Chain A
Amino acid sequence: MTVPFSAESATESAAAAADRATAAILADFTGGGHRGVIVDSPPGAGKSTLVVTTTLELALAGERLMIVAQTNEQVDDLVDKIATRAPAITVGRLHKDGFQVPERVLRHPGVTASKKIDDVASCAVVLATADKWAYVSGRTWRWAIIDEAYQMRSDKLLAIAALFEQALFVGDPGQLDPFSVVDTERWAGLAWDPMQSAVAVTARLNDLPVHRLPVSWRLPASAAPLISEAFYPFTPFRSGTTGADRALEFTAAGFPVPWDHTLNEAASTGWALHELPSRHTVRTDADAVQACAGLATRLLQRGPIAHDEHGSHHVDATRIAIGAAHNDQVAAIRAAGVPAGITVDTANRLQGREYDVTIVLHPLSGRRDATAFHLESGRLCVLASRHRHACVVVARAGIPELLDAHPSTGRVRLNVPVKFPDGWEANHAVLAHLAGHRVPT
């Protein structure tokens, strides 16, 4: 499934398209015509690049701005990127008491990290998580950039909205919606339902321009069409690269064993479905867990090398991730012995991250009944869109039957916009595609 025209022209036009989008966004935002601008960004479409570019544009023009991200990891990544691109700019990293600021942040002389706003308020750029910003008051910024805004809950935005005048909302609409451990029926249908995303509430109550980043630089040509079609039916995007730009090869040859069959399939096509015999299992299905850990180990053993538009590099542990739906699955996989440095985490925490190869324990594997949680399209979307080269899905056979038997008796709330795509459809789309990369064991 590669884009049917030559590498250069593809990348060029893709790059051009991306640049056009970025320019338009900056114009709209800094033009001051709107209090807010929304940017929908599919996986790996250069969201953080956009954030950094915008930041520099404003900061170098002498403007002060605040940046809001959702996790400390995301904040630290941004600080690192900004400080690397423009060491001259003073950057404030605001964090909660007792937080261990990582080396990649502290190493920059221009960066001040503190738990007190007063220590960093003077910086040109101040970054913190939404949770931390919520406790700041009595100060205002003209500009704010809100990153991963689709994962930010409306009520969190409400707590900080008084701090800024104009905001750029950047996020990926296809990922997981905010959730709560309590019943929030009470607010269903309200324009300001606190359970909506920050983007949803603001867009519903204000008439804001919505931009789209049209090109994914992360997802390979083998993945972009599927992800776009399955999870972004109304806002298609494409890969910035072609099949020719990306290749994954192993320095160590494989054996005729399932694990190697699977890895070979993944390396050559970008996808592999490592299929275990159909069976209902506990969530922490030992075989599936073993397969995830084993595949990761085996992958490293075979010394993978990734070739892409920037050149070639060894795929080390830090470039590999294993994703699952539940914490206990993650814990089980870790316990099963995963080479040091490999990321093992839940979909929620993998949001916004990027790796060369990902191994995914399918949320519906071994289940007898699908639940709304397991069907949530965002969960599968996150898991299936973290990779630059290949994605290996580990699952027990029989998921299509499971989906067919799923009762569609969900509740319907008045005046709540219907969410697309429907998790059921999305799951089927992905499975249909994976069927072509099946490696039975």
Chain B
Amino acid sequence: MGIVTSYARALAVREGRAQPIATVRHLHLSARPMVFIPLKLAGEAAAPLGAMVGTDPADPRLLVVPQPRNRDLRFAFMAELAQIMLPYIEGFATATETVTGRNERERYLDAPQILVPGGRAIEFVRLLGRSTRFRRTDGPYPVDPSVPVLGQWLTFLYERTEFAGSSALVPVTEALALHWATGQSPLEDANLATLLAWISPPPGLTGQEAAAAAENPLDWPPAGPDTDPGFDAQVLQHAIRAYDASGSPALVRQALRTQLEPTWRLMWQAVDQLRGLPEAASVAERWAFDRDQYTREVARLADGGPPRGRRDQAGPAAIRLWDMEAAQQTYDAQRAYDDPLVMTEHRATGKAFTGEAVHVDADRRILLPGGKKPVPRPLVTVRTGDPVRLTPGKKVFSVHRRKQSAEIVEIDGDIVVVQLNDQLAKGAGVPTAGDAVCFTELDLGGRIRPGFPTGEETPWTHGGPPAAYVPTDEDAVEAWS
């Protein structure tokens, strides 16, 4: 969010349809994504009610739990889900490429991508993973062997979403909202139906009108995982009673199909909408990282890696936080570097400026403090229309030469003087007068993570070494209410 997005929202209201806030697509879109629309039973933490899942728009698979309070039926559902998801997920573990450079490694050429309607579905995936990954296939409450495996994968996918720029598990509403500003509030953008209504209103309707129509839960049921209370009371309750009495899930299936099919269509409409945008320059790099993580997880599970613990220990928590922040920084910078429209947000707030290089002193050399001989430090004088809010000495980067760092020397009205500090091997990387240039303080990051103590090295300040995590019986037997 920022003033440009806000302006675009205002514009959307007047134009009667959503306005672009990106010129390129900032997420990876698989050639064969899997769409997953889970529903849960109201009032329960993670009681699956049903789901529509699949990779072919024309062939959705409908899974239902005809009596969600029955834990055996829930696990049967999870097993059935595993039969569909695991082949898809594990199916990418085939051809690899060799990544050279430091820590040379193999990496799968492609990886699974699962699309869910929105943030609530992501949270539900987390809970499904949490409630199944510790299950035992023997002992008190045995489950199908595929269930804990699915639990591990769902956990993996969820945890990827905590890192900015990952495309392994994507909430579609957020993906759309990243590229279009609607004439409604961000809160309302969480509704897939209204969001799409604004982005591509049916002919003859304004986004406003289309969105209003899309708010009717009868035509456009909530995208889940929460169901419409009206539906629960008027339809579902009855259907479940019917199952209890007759043992036939037909009515529940029929009921849930009516709730899931509209969303299924919307999900694929959203996919087409996103496909319409060309992929941003840095997406491939970020997706490669997703593939790296996928490759690792495949190997970890192959070695019988244990399910992830319930909560992080001190060390892992610190490492994860560091990585999450690094990912966020890189992601924010890359999106701006890749997309002039995203950059406008930063230009408007003075964190970046574009303009014309009106004068370039390419041969300038200066003697650094403590230095022996003068080093090249070209000066670029830029005329810009942007309200620059960077101060002299501020480190900036050139959008056109991402690796090159520079610093603001002085600012005088619409004239900014920038000194280039590196990437100057024999005069390379210096713009010439008349070039269009763009400098910004946004840093692509990429620093090396400091060393954090391993579990047994945990220092006294953080409670000393924690007891090693062992999945307890409790994890396995904790009965689903």
Answer yes or no: A and B touching, Cβ < 8 Å: yes
Task: Identify which of A134, A137, A198, A334 contacts B391 (C-beta below 8 A).
Answer: A334
Residues of chain B within 8 A (CB-CB) of A332 are 389
Q: For the complex, is A100 an interface residue (Cβ under 8 Å from B)?
A: yes
Complex interface: stretch among A159-167, A212-220, A317-325, A427-435: A159-167
Contact A331 B350 (CB under 8 A): yes
Contact B462 A205 (CB under 8 A): yes
State A27–B106 Cα separation when bound (angstroms).
58
Residues of chain B within 8 A (CB-CB) of A35 are 460
Q: Which residues 341-359 in B have Cβ within 8 Å of A in the complex?
A: 349-350
CB distance from A371 to the nearest CB of B (A): 12
**Given A158-B318, A180-B325, A192-B314: A328 in contact with B462 (beta carbons within 8 A):** no
Contact B328 A186 (CB under 8 A): no
Residues of chain A within 8 A (CB-CB) of B460 are 35, 161, 206
Contact B317 A193 (CB under 8 A): yes
Complex interface: stretch among B67-75, B78-86, B451-459: B451-459
Task: Identify which of A137, A183, A190, A331 contacts B317 (C-beta below 8 A).
Answer: A190
Query: Of all chain A residues, which has the CB nearest B466?
Result: A192
**Given A159-B451, A183-B162, A194-B318: A154 in contact with B389 (beta carbons within 8 A):** no
Q: Which residues 305-361 in B have Cβ within 8 Å of A in the complex?
A: 311-315, 317-318, 320-322, 324-325, 328-329, 349-350
Residues of chain B within 8 A (CB-CB) of A159 are 318, 450-452
Q: For the complex, is A182 an interface residue (Cβ under 8 Å from B)?
A: yes
Contact B318 A155 (CB under 8 A): yes
Residues of chain B within 8 A (CB-CB) of A327 are 389
Residues of chain A within 8 A (CB-CB) of B369 are 100
State A335–B462 Cα separation when bound (angstroms).
45
CB distance from A81 to the nearest CB of B (A): 24
Q: For the complex, is A187 an interface residue (Cβ under 8 Å from B)?
A: yes
Residues of chain B within 8 A (CB-CB) of A414 are none
Q: For the complex, is B271 an interface residue (Cβ under 8 Å from A)?
A: no
Contact A181 B461 (CB under 8 A): no
State A201–B315 Cα separation when bound (angstroms).
13
Residues of chain B within 8 A (CB-CB) of A187 are 311-312, 317, 321
Contact A167 B461 (CB under 8 A): yes
State A155–B317 Cα separation when bound (angstroms).
8
Contact A162 B459 (CB under 8 A): yes
Q: For the complex, is B463 an interface residue (Cβ under 8 Å from A)?
A: yes
Contact A162 B457 (CB under 8 A): yes
Contact B461 A194 (CB under 8 A): no
Most buried by B among A155, A180, A190, A335: A155
State A36–B328 Cα separation when bound (angstroms).
34
Contact A192 B457 (CB under 8 A): no
Q: For the complex, is A276 an interface residue (Cβ under 8 Å from B)?
A: no
Contact B321 A158 (CB under 8 A): no
**Given A100-B369, A162-B453: A205 in contact with B311 (beta carbons within 8 A):** no
Contact code string A185-204 (vs B, CB < 8 Å = 1, else 0): 01100111111001001100
Contact A182 B463 (CB under 8 A): no
Contact B463 A191 (CB under 8 A): yes
State A216–B455 Cα separation when bound (angstroms).
41
Task: Identify which of A36, A158, A183 contacts B315 (C-beta below 8 A).
Answer: A158
Contact A158 B457 (CB under 8 A): no
State A36–B461 Cα separation when bound (angstroms).
8
Q: Which residues 162-209 in B have Cβ within 8 Å of A in the complex?
A: 162, 164
Task: Identify which of B324, B325, B391, B452 contacts A158 (C-beta below 8 A).
Answer: B452
Residues of chain A within 8 A (CB-CB) of B452 are 155, 158-159
Contact B461 A205 (CB under 8 A): yes
Q: For the complex, is A5 an interface residue (Cβ under 8 Å from B)?
A: no
CB distance from B50 to the nearest CB of A (A): 28
**Given A162-B453, A181-B325: A328 in contact with B350 (beta carbons within 8 A):** yes
CB distance from A29 to the nearest CB of B (A): 15
State A206–B313 Cα separation when bound (angstroms).
17
Most buried by A among B314, B325, B329, B461: B461
**Given A135-B450, A137-B451, A190-B311: A180 in contact with B321 (beta carbons within 8 A):** yes
Most buried by A among B315, B350, B450: B450
CB distance from B14 to the nearest CB of A (A): 21
State A190–B321 Cα separation when bound (angstroms).
14
Task: Identify which of B312, B320, B329, B391 contacts A181 (C-beta below 8 A).
Answer: B329
Contact B462 A201 (CB under 8 A): yes
Residues of chain B within 8 A (CB-CB) of A198 are 461
State A167–B459 Cα separation when bound (angstroms).
12
Residues of chain A within 8 A (CB-CB) of B324 are 182
Query: Of all chain B residues, which has the CB nearest A187?
Result: B317
Task: Identify which of B325, B349, B391, B462 contacts A192 (C-beta below 8 A).
Answer: B462
Residues of chain A within 8 A (CB-CB) of B463 are 191-192, 205-206
Contact A161 B317 (CB under 8 A): no
Contact B325 A154 (CB under 8 A): no
Q: For the complex, is A6 an interface residue (Cβ under 8 Å from B)?
A: no
Q: For the complex, is A71 an interface residue (Cβ under 8 Å from B)?
A: no
Query: Of all chain A residues, which has the CB nearest B453?
Result: A162
Query: Of all chain A residues, which has the CB nearest B391?
Result: A334
Task: Identify which of A100, A158, A186 contacts B462 (C-beta below 8 A).
Answer: A158
Q: For the complex, is A184 an interface residue (Cβ under 8 Å from B)?
A: yes
Contact B328 A182 (CB under 8 A): yes
Contact A155 B322 (CB under 8 A): yes
CB distance from A208 to the nearest CB of B (A): 10
Q: For the complex, is A157 an interface residue (Cβ under 8 Å from B)?
A: yes
Query: Of all chain B residues, which has the CB nearest A327?
Result: B389
Contact code string B240-264 (vs A, CB < 8 Å = 1, else 0): 0000000000000000000000000
**Given A155-B318, A192-B317: A202 in contact with B451 (beta carbons within 8 A):** no
Query: Of all chain A residues, which has the CB nearest B314?
Result: A192
Task: Identify which of A36, A137, A186 contacts B312 (C-beta below 8 A).
Answer: A186
Residues of chain A within 8 A (CB-CB) of B349 are 328
Contact B450 A134 (CB under 8 A): yes
CB distance from B8 to the nearest CB of A (A): 17
CB distance from B317 to the nearest CB of A (A): 5
CB distance from B414 to the nearest CB of A (A): 13
Residues of chain B within 8 A (CB-CB) of A328 are 349-350, 389
Query: Of all chain A residues, which has the CB nearest B324?
Result: A182
Q: Which residues 433-479 in B have Cβ within 8 Å of A in the complex?
A: 450-453, 457-463
State A134–B460 Cα separation when bound (angstroms).
17
Query: Of all chain B residues, which has the CB nearest A344?
Result: B391
Task: Identify which of A137, A206, A331 contacts B461 (C-beta below 8 A).
Answer: A206
Contact A154 B462 (CB under 8 A): yes
Q: Which residues 141-159 in A have Cβ within 8 Å of B in the complex?
A: 154-155, 157-159
CB distance from A129 to the nearest CB of B (A): 12
State A332–B390 Cα separation when bound (angstroms).
10
Residues of chain A within 8 A (CB-CB) of B311 are 187, 190
State A135–B457 Cα separation when bound (angstroms).
16
State A234–B249 Cα separation when bound (angstroms).
62
State A184–B312 Cα separation when bound (angstroms).
12
Contact code string A402-416 (vs B, CB < 8 Å = 1, else 0): 000000000000000
Query: Of all chain B residues, which has the CB nearest A329?
Result: B389
Q: Which residues 386-426 in B have Cβ within 8 Å of A in the complex?
A: 389-391
State A331–B461 Cα separation when bound (angstroms).
39
Contact A202 B461 (CB under 8 A): yes
State A332–B461 Cα separation when bound (angstroms).
42
State A167–B462 Cα separation when bound (angstroms).
13
State A440–B463 Cα separation when bound (angstroms).
54
Query: Of all chain A residues, which has the CB nearest B320?
Result: A186
Contact A201 B461 (CB under 8 A): yes
In the complex, besides A161-B453, A186-B312, A328-B349, 10 extra interface pairs with C-beta distance below 8 angstroms are: A154-B318, A158-B461, A159-B451, A161-B462, A162-B459, A182-B164, A187-B311, A194-B317, A194-B321, A331-B390
Which 8 residue pairs spanning A and B have beta carbons closest together? A331-B389, A155-B318, A161-B459, A134-B450, A205-B463, A192-B314, A182-B324, A161-B461
Sampled A-B contacts (10; CB under 8 Å): A134-B451, A161-B453, A161-B461, A162-B457, A162-B459, A167-B461, A180-B321, A182-B324, A201-B461, A332-B389
